[in-house]
């Protein structure tokens, strides 16, 4: 996603479905409480951050996000888990929601986004796709791709 403002963005979103197939989107921003624990993985290995999101959207649904920060690495390891004590089924999870500034080549910057679709797509101009009929849209389940929505 391209950053377009200063509004808060959720670190995750999940889509739930009820028995009738109705969708309900739930985000990290809807948690009743968020707690952070910091722990050492080991003296030499680095640190782990553990975020617990409780009562998402006032449902009996909690999430835990763990981020491992190895001592001698620029990389991080991210994991998410859910404790779903509702009657809803989980359709999909969007995690982590990564937002970047629009400093793409077409906007005068030097950045590019590598989108892992097909054989790989290098994006230099976000408007080239988003301003056409082929822009991103979610498909509903069950469906026949875009034809079924």
Q: Which residues contact 63 (CB under 8 A, 6 or more apart)?
A: 12, 28, 31, 52, 53, 56, 80, 81, 82, 83
Please compute the mean of the pLDDT values over residues 59-82 and round it to a whole number. 94
Q: How high does pLDDT run on average in the chain? A: 86
Decide if 142 is inside a domain: no
Q: Which residues contact 73 (CB under 8 A, 6 or more apart)?
A: 46
Please compute the mean of the pLDDT values over residues 96-103 and round it to a whole number. 82
Report the SS3 class of residue 36.
Answer: strand
What percent of the chain shows pLDDT beyond 70? 85
Half-sphere exposure of 27 (CA within 13 A, CB side): 7
Range of the domain at 28: 1-99
Does 103 have pLDDT greater than 80?
A: yes
Please compute the mean of the pLDDT values over residues 78-106 and round it to a whole number. 92
Residues 3 and 43 grouped into a single domain: yes
Residues 85 and 119 grouped into a single domain: no
pLDDT in tens, 28-51: 999 999 999 887 766 577 889 999
Report the SS3 class of residue 21.
Answer: coil
């Amino acid at each position: 996603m391209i950053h377009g403002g200063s509004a808060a963005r959720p670190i995750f979103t999940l889509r739930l479905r009820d028995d009738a197939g109705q969708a309900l989107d739930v985000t990290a921003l809807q948690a009743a409480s968020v707690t952070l624990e910091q722990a050492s993985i080991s003296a030499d290995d680095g640190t782990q951050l553990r975020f617990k999101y409780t009562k998402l959207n006032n449902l009996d649904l909690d999430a835990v996000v763990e981020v491992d920060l190895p001592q001698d690495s620029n990389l991080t390891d991210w994991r998410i888990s859910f404790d779903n004590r509702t009657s809803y089924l989980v359709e999909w999870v969007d995690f982590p929601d990564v937002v970047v500034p629009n400093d793409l080549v077409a906007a005068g910057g030097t950045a590019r986004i590598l989108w892992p679709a097909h054989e790989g797509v290098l994006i230099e101009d976000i408007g080239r796709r988003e301003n056409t009929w082929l822009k991103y849209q979610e498909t509903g389940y069950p469906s026949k791709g875009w034809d079924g929505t």
